[in-house]
Chain A
Amino acid sequence: MGLVFKNETFRDDFTFSNSPAAIKRFPFPFHEDRYMYTVNIEPHIAGPKGSVYEFPIDIDEHYLSDMRDRALVLKEDPLRCQSLPHMLTAEWDLVELLMTSMSESYPEHFTLTREGDNWHWINRPMGIDQKFTFGDVATLPYRPMEYITRQCQGDFCLLDQRDGDLWMDAGIVSTQADWSLDFDVGMSFKEWHAPVPMAHEVGVFDRALKFLLNMQQGKPVRRLNWTMTINPRLDTSPENYHKWGKDRTTVTPENVGNKVHLRVELQGLWRLPRSNAIVFSIRAYLIKMDELVTVPKWGRRLHRVLKTLPDAIADYKGTTRYRQTTIDWLAKYDDGAPTSKGCWPD
């Protein structure tokens, strides 16, 4: 069965919404009624049919609108896509990973034919039919990473591994939760994680780095991260803070349901074959409070998570101005009943 792609916006009139099916498959991140940082890394293996974990790279009803928004971001700010010169081999590895995964998972929408280095890529939803030579930059209209990530949902960073560390030496980042590739490019793992509160003290980053340095090909992993966003805006970047920062002051008890969104990032990590680099993918899913509370367990649980969230984490996630208003709004969906273990709806 083919996906039906919606036509919607993530800016200006904000027409983005989730269909009932998209709400059902939303990757709700809280497995219990409180939240704390952990090394919540698990194997990125196939999950239940229809879930965001069914395939290695998830394409959904927002695909075409996502890609349109990315093109707008790149047009205004080409520095959202950067790659240091030594990352070209990793860029080609990424082309292979994404084209292979998309065509195997969604054959009705994407087709890849390979004969040696002669590749033929068809992207039906976007109307693209491209023959190119794998390894030859001149045969594509963009550099390899930019070419394929203009056609794939999610931000992607390519991490070079050397000197017992990981370095963010390439990436395309246009749907980010207030961090900047232009600022972080070239940084080491602990440098780019430096602003995260509390996690350093509990050794999360030491353990995560050691784990990632020894990550093997064929054994990708994933984790969820989350924050909250006012309006369904994908591009909440520091570069555009002047456009969206003030949205945080517009939340009222009347508009919480429509304005306040839970933003969940499905982060995937793959070891790449030719370059030995690691792909770090960050796929953002948005859901407004009105949609979220259609799942009673999620309404109850998010209310409790926000109430008990340590202030340092709430501040870091930028929720300070509207957190209490949101908690008050969610209170009417929390009858105090116990919630079941795990993230999925009851």
Chain B
Amino acid sequence: MSGEAEFRVRVAETETVADGIRRLRLVPLGRAALPLFSGGAHTVLTMQDEDRVLRNPYSLMGSPFDSSSYQISVLRTRDSRGGSIFVHDKLKEGSELSITAPVNLFPIDRRARRHLLIAGGIGITPFMAMMEQLEREELPFELHYGMRSKAGGAYWSALRDTYGRRINTYFDDAQQKIPLTRLLENQPLGTHLYVCGPAAMIDWVLTEAREAGWPEENVHFERFSAPPAGAPFTIELAKAGRVIDVKPTQSILEAIEAAGLTVPFLCRGGACGQCETHVVSCSGTIEHNDHFLSAAEKASGGKIMICVSRLKSAGSRIVLDL
């Protein structure tokens, strides 16, 4: 029973599994096994890129029952911060890094009579682990998986081999589209819907589900935001008595960490609520990028999720209760 929540791992294997998608297998360093996890869980990778520390969340896509290694898949994106580029260009077999203990913000709801999984692109990864667990627990599921193309989609062929007709694939370049309306209208009572993919796809599925009369409790989604870049601004930590500049490609959380301070975090994607921080005062406008605070809380300006949210205009200043 270890009390630690972060461990060192080594990259044991890398593989390009589709255009722009790289799979990594991570094995533990200095301990025999990694904790088991539940389908839908993620880990946060800490990557040391020269003088910069990057921490990004990635869904665990390997078997939840394999304690010898974790697997993640990363899509190369042209995000301004360079996390995915670091994974693609700088990590190699033998590289060592730190990861956090698994956290699940996208768990299976085992009350469901049936599990309807909708994936878009790299959003397939949490479902890989989830389906392995659903299969083992003998829970009925079906997957509908949209991709740009056969070459750009990961794992679809292997998934078909493993799960047969429960895997339905759709390729944009063949003008195939997930028949969402029909799917949502033709499910037995007690079905739960899960969606993970690009933001626009999640919005589409949630809207359609609402219009089709699905109860909110039966609809689950995983929406991580990478912290967006923006204008530089200044934060003041009221309790610590520190003034810190936040660079255009840094989040507030990253700027605080770069200054040598630590604050609690879990998902770093604006979803879990762990880094919720009280605002003492603010000279500018907060750009709320999280999915945690309610619309009313965002409007009041009294709280900010420092992992993804920032100030809109250059030179403005926010005082935080930290």
Contacts and interface: CB of A to CB of B under 8 A. Distances in A.
B2 to A, nearest CB: 6
B266 A216 contact: yes
Interface in A237-259: none
B4 interface: yes
A86 B108 CA distance: 10
A176 to B, nearest CB: 26
Interface string A268-292: 0000011110000000000000000
A127 interface: no
Contacts of A101: 1
| Residue among B3, B65, B266 with max Cβ neighbours from chain A (10 Å) | B3
Nearest to A164: B273
A106 to B, nearest CB: 14
B37 A45 contact: no
A275 B101 contact: no
A45 B38 contact: no
Contacts of B101: 216-219
Contact of B35 (A104, A163, A273): A273
B3 A217 contact: no
Mostly, the B contact residues are: loop
B5 A216 contact: yes
A274 B110 contact: no
Contacts of A160: 110
A273 B107 CA distance: 11
B56 to A, nearest CB: 18
Contact of B38 (A84, A162, A219, A276): A276
Nearest to A270: B1
Interface string B290-304: 000000000000000
B1 A274 contact: no
A56 interface: yes
A180 interface: no
A214 interface: yes
Interface in B137-156: 137
Contact of A214 (B1, B36, B64, B274): B274
Contact of B36 (A135, A161, A274): A274
Contacts of A86: 109-111
A104 B2 CA distance: 13
20 contacts: A86-B111, A101-B1, A104-B1, A161-B107, A210-B273, A216-B5, A216-B100, A216-B266, A218-B1, A218-B3, A218-B4, A218-B5, A219-B3, A273-B36, A274-B38, A274-B133, A275-B38, A275-B110, A276-B104, A276-B107
Given A104-B1, A162-B111, A219-B5, 13 more contacts: A43-B3, A45-B3, A89-B110, A100-B1, A101-B1, A217-B101, A218-B2, A219-B3, A219-B101, A273-B37, A275-B38, A275-B110, A276-B38
Interface of B: 1-5, 35-38, 40-41, 64-65, 100-104, 107-111, 133, 136-137, 217, 266, 272-274
